[in-house]
Amino acid sequence: MFAYYLQLGLRSLKRNPVLTALMVMAIAFGVAASMITWSVFRVVSGNPIPWKSSQLYNVQVDNRGPQYDDPPNEPPEALNYTDAVALMQAHKAPHQTLLYDIAPSVLPKNPNDLPTTAYGYATSADFFSMFDVPFQYGSPWTNADDDAHAAVAVISNDLNKKLFGGANSIGRDVTLDMHAYRIVGVASHWDPKPRYYDAYDGMQFSADAPSVFIVFNRAIDMHVGLSGRNNCGGAPMHIAGDVEWLHRECAWIPFWAELPTPADVEKYKAFLTAYSSEQQQAGRFHWGPNVRLRNVTEWLAYKKVVPPESRISLFVSIGFFVICLVNTIGLLLAKFMRRSSEIGVRRALGATRREVYAQFLMEAATVGLAGGMLGLLLTIVGMQGVGLLFEPNVAHLARIDLSLLITTLMVSVLTTVIAAFYPTWRAAQVQPAWQLKSN
Amino acid sequence: MQIRPILAAMRRHKAGTLLIGFQIALTLAIVCNALFIIHERIARVSRPSGVNETNLFVITNSWAGNWSDHQTAVQIEADLNALRQLGSVEDATALNSFPLHGSGWDNFVRLAPEQIHMTTDSSVYLADDHTLDTLGVKLIAGRNFTPNEIQALSIQGMTSWPVVIVSKGLANVLFPKGDALGKQIYVTSNNTPSTIIGISDTLQSHMMDSDDNAYAYNAVLVPMREVATGYVHYLIRARPGQLDAAMRDAPKALIAQSRLRIFEAGDGIMTFAQVRAKAYERDYGMAMLLAIVSAVLLAITAAGIVGLTSFWVGQRRRQIGVRRALGATQGDILSYFMTENLLIAVGGIVVGTLLAIGINLWMVTHDGVAYLSGSYLLAAAIALLLLGQGAVLAPALRASRVSPIEATRTA
């Protein structure tokens, strides 16, 4: 019966070509618009590390006092050098790391080439295990390297390709800002989006994956400049390793702690509060403890990483799709009711209401399927134009994958069948006697 | 007008009536908000920067290697001299950031040292005596910097900024009475005052977030070379008609000075037109997306009206024939369908207006969109009325041509 109704449905598509074309196009446009904006939205609003997002916590400590709080009562979004180093040394979480943005120059291997800039982070050993960085060659540096202020580096496979043609470069040197660093690891491609660990610097959708990582302590020793955000609440200050400057109350070091259980979170919060009280007693803070621990999803929500454009366009597209479906309900109603006499004959010949339902829902499903196919094409074409609609950093995140294609088809068929419930119900209500009489 | 029989007939096809009405309502709500957002974005994009943008370009120059502050200061001076000597270049300046750049330094501005909360926020441009000329921004009061006022400093070596030039916008916010010249303001956190020695004409800030709209025209020019950040932006004004030549010559001239520098691939060298396009790409994209969606939406709604009305006309051919046989003119039939659509559209518009306001209120709280103005509701309402009438015209004309003879035929 299923196959027969499908055949009937296909035949019926041809019967009112204009009405059918209208419905198919409405569904196709609606589903394509929704899918294109969804493909962007699912990335920008996605969880970049779902298996661990509730265990990684961004640490905030108010080191500047209430008059600088923006929004009110919220501590700065990153730590200053004093607090970041103190929390690292306290080592109260199973794993913790700190980082700041660097953009050192990289000397090319061929002296005739011009130097380039490599973007990356000065950080600590735990960074790689906490954020699950995969390695192509070698491994992260160790906590001992952190303590030894070692001149070691992890580079991305992209930079490795550029400098060493992709060969195993472990043990070789890379020259950053005119100083040599020994390569201990080459990371495989790794760039979770949004880049939660550096949302402080507004890097959540940065187009290029970080290409170099060096030891934080070494970077401070070598005066490797901060290329990210520095919030001093006063005159703009810049790092040059100068001791006095390092101890100014600026916010520039995002700090993360891995806290596997709620008990760990409570314990760490208590530790932060105690630390702030200590600073207050020592006369450094003139205010009570004001600390925050936010896990990855809470942190992304707090930083409002989802661009309003992305949300607005998704909602507009869904609204558009709803209108297309309302349109489809109306047209299906017209199409089905035109065939009242046909339904009357079928019912009089013994078809049950259930069979009428099955036939007409099947017919609607074929419309949905046709709309989905066209929608699929429109989605693929439309994705080429995403770059015109969204800023490049966000647009390059949109990808067509199998799940998007399947969703497109499923959504069009399902929504069309749902839209067909009312017209089908009306069709099934047709009284056979009435239809037979008028003939 | 024969409104009563129309209403009576509507009761016979409630579902279709409600569907068209609902579709009009939704379309109104979305198109209205979309138009409003498009307007907001276009207004943002078309606000003036104050900069004379033709013939201006930017080179973002990073230093490769560990240069001492002194070396950097000497190199910047040499670079600027080399640039200004080029035949295709009119003037050049070195800045830490520039209007529309998106990133840079902003500082709280206060009027008294004991003040805890800021009066306003402002861009800080570390500038020199060539900055205003290169940008093409006029000085409207006071004087420009003199060459010996320009300090080459790393910012942490900085103790105070004794003299500053402020933009007209910032002067008006700080001193609404118009007496900013000669006044002292506090732009640093170390409580040393800066004296306003000049006021520039309109000059936009580097801040591009819509959250910073209130500060969009606040700028403080400080006579200083920042030498420790590892990069500098050279803004270069080409002689009229020689922009291409200048953009070719300038990087060569800089590399001839020293090879230990990096021009970032992609955005290392940009005309100011490119700077502007990049600064507003989100706004252009949003406006374009909403325009496309609105257009397709209106087309689909119109198509839906044509489809359902055609169905109704087909369904009622016999009744139309009877009416015609009883003396109704073609005009009567035409106006019947037009009026029917008008009634449905008005109903849809009432519901749609409420929906539109609801959506707007939601966006006001969630996305920082402004309150919808009534003129958009009115414009969208009129547009949908006309759309409905236009869409119904073809099926209604077909109905009016139904011959009275149809009355005698069985369906």
Question: Is the pLDDT reported for residue A438 higher than 70?
Answer: no
Contact at 8 Å (CB) between A269 and A277?
no
The pLDDT of residue A150: 95
Greatest Cα pair distance in chain A:
99
* Chain A contact set for B63 (CB, 8 A): 105
Contact at 8 Å (CB) between B221 and B128?
no
Tell me the average pLDDT across A161-167: 92
- Nearest residue on chain A to B294, alpha-carbon basis: A320
**pLDDT band for position A232 (cuts 50, 70, 90):** confident
Question: Is the pLDDT reported for residue A70 higher than 70?
Answer: no
Q: How many residues does chain A have?
A: 439
Question: Is the pLDDT reported for residue A77 higher than 60?
Answer: yes
Mutate to test the interface with B, among A18, A24, A102, A117 (most CBs of B within 10 A): A117
Find, among A45, A388, A311, the residue nearest to B369 by Cα: A311
Beta-carbon neighbour count of residue B117 at 10 Å? 8
Q: What is the ipTM of this complex?
A: 0.81
Q: How many residues does chain B have?
A: 411
Q: Do A330 and B308 touch (CB under 8 A)?
A: yes
Q: Is residue A434 packed enough to be buried (19+ CB in 10 Å), middle (13-18) or exposed (0-12)?
A: exposed
* Angle formed at CA B227 by CA B223 and CA B233, multiple of 5 degrees: 75
Pick from B64, B189, B304: CB nearest A330: B304
Calculate how close chain A gets to B366, using CA atoms only, in Å. Answer: 8
Mean pLDDT is lowest, of A86-90, A168-172, A429-433, B173-177, for A429-433
Beta bridge partners of B120: B109
Question: What's the token pair of residue B245?
Answer: 């030549």
Tell me the average pLDDT across A387-401: 80
The pLDDT of residue A439: 46
Q: Which of residues 188-247 of A touch B (CB under 8 A)?
A: 223, 225, 227, 232-238, 240, 242, 244-245
The pLDDT of residue B227: 80
Pick from B62, B189, B296: CB nearest A105: B62
- For A259-299, the DSSP string reads --SHHHHHHHHHHHHHHHHHHHHTTS-SS---EEEEEHHHH
Q: Do A236 and B105 touch (CB under 8 A)?
A: yes
Calculate how close chain B gets to A242, using CA atoms only, in Å. Answer: 8
* Residues B2-16 pLDDT 10s: 788 888 888 878 888
Calculate how close chain A gets to B42, using CA atoms only, in Å. Answer: 14
Pick from A114, A178, A324: CB nearest B262: A114
- Nearest residue on chain A to B22, alpha-carbon basis: A326
**pLDDT band for position A142 (cuts 50, 70, 90):** very high
Average pLDDT value for chain A: 88
Mean pLDDT is lowest, of A136-140, A153-157, A183-187, A250-254, for A250-254
The pLDDT of residue A239: 43
The pLDDT of residue B339: 92
Question: Is the pLDDT reported for residue A233 higher than 70?
Answer: no
**pLDDT band for position A105 (cuts 50, 70, 90):** confident
Question: What's the token pair of residue B383?
Answer: 């547009």
DSSP state of B326: T
Pairing of the two strands B219-226 and B151-153: parallel
* Residues A274-296 pLDDT 10s: 999 999 999 888 889 999 999 99
3-class DSSP state for residue B402?
A: coil
Q: Is residue A57 packed enough to be buried (19+ CB in 10 Å), middle (13-18) or exposed (0-12)?
A: buried
Separation between Cα atoms, residue A7 and residue A171, nearest integer Å: 68
Mutate to test the interface with B, among A36, A105, A342 (most CBs of B within 10 A): A105
Q: Do B15 and A178 touch (CB under 8 A)?
A: no
Tell me the average pLDDT across A37-41: 89
Calculate how close chain B gets to A257, using CA atoms only, in Å. Answer: 29
Q: Domains of chain B: which residue ranges?
A: 3-46+282-408, 66-259
Q: Do A114 and B230 touch (CB under 8 A)?
A: no
Q: Do A389 and B15 touch (CB under 8 A)?
A: no
Q: Which residue has the higher pLDDT, B7 or A412?
A: A412
3-class DSSP state for residue A109?
A: coil
Pick from A232, A308, A392: CB nearest B367: A308
Q: Do B282 and A390 touch (CB under 8 A)?
A: yes
Per-residue burial over B90-110, b = 16 or more CB atoms within 10 Å of its CB, e = otherwise: bbbbbbbbbbbbeebbbbbbb
* Chain A contact set for B314 (CB, 8 A): 338
Per-residue burial over A369-400, b = 16 or more CB atoms within 10 Å of its CB, e = otherwise: bbbbebbbebbbebbeebeebbbebbbebbeb
Residue type, A90: A
Separation between Cα atoms, residue B308 and residue B320, nearest integer Å: 17
Residue type, A68: Y
Q: Do A235 and B155 touch (CB under 8 A)?
A: yes
Pick from B27, B261, B315: CB nearest A323: B27
The pLDDT of residue A391: 78
What stretch of H or E contains A58? strand A56-61
Q: Which of residues 303-322 of A touch B (CB under 8 A)?
A: 307-309, 311-313, 316-317, 319-320, 322
The pLDDT of residue B184: 93
3-class DSSP state for residue B156?
A: helix
Find, among A39, A50, A392, the residue nearest to A196 by Cα: A50
Q: Is residue A365 packed enough to be buried (19+ CB in 10 Å), middle (13-18) or exposed (0-12)?
A: buried
Question: Is the pLDDT reported for residue A35 higher than 70?
Answer: yes
Q: What is each CA distance from A153 to A120, A145, B2, B159, B207, in whole angstroms?
A: 11, 10, 85, 36, 35
Tell me the average pLDDT across A340-355: 86
* Chain A contact set for B19 (CB, 8 A): 326, 329-330, 333
Beta bridge partners of A58: A256, A294
Question: What's the token pair of residue B333?
Answer: 């039939």
HSE-up of residue A75 (Cα within 13 Å, Cβ side): 28
Contact at 8 Å (CB) between B180 and B192?
no
- For A374-400, the DSSP string reads HHHHHHHHHHHTHHHHS-HHHHTT---
**pLDDT band for position A218 (cuts 50, 70, 90):** very high
CB pairs under 8 A between A and B: 170
Question: Is the pLDDT reported for residue A240 higher than 70?
Answer: no
The pLDDT of residue A236: 44
Pick from A334, A338, A391: CB nearest B282: A391
Separation between Cα atoms, residue A69 and residue A58, nearest integer Å: 17
The pLDDT of residue A277: 94
Question: Is the pLDDT reported for residue A245 higher than 80?
Answer: no
Contact at 8 Å (CB) between B120 and B185?
no
Contact at 8 Å (CB) between A120 and A215?
no
The pLDDT of residue A243: 61
Find, among B14, B43, B11, the residue nearest to B370 by Cα: B43
Question: Is the pLDDT reported for residue A32 higher than 70?
Answer: yes
Residues of chain B with pLDDT under 70: 1, 65-66, 154-159, 189-190, 410-411
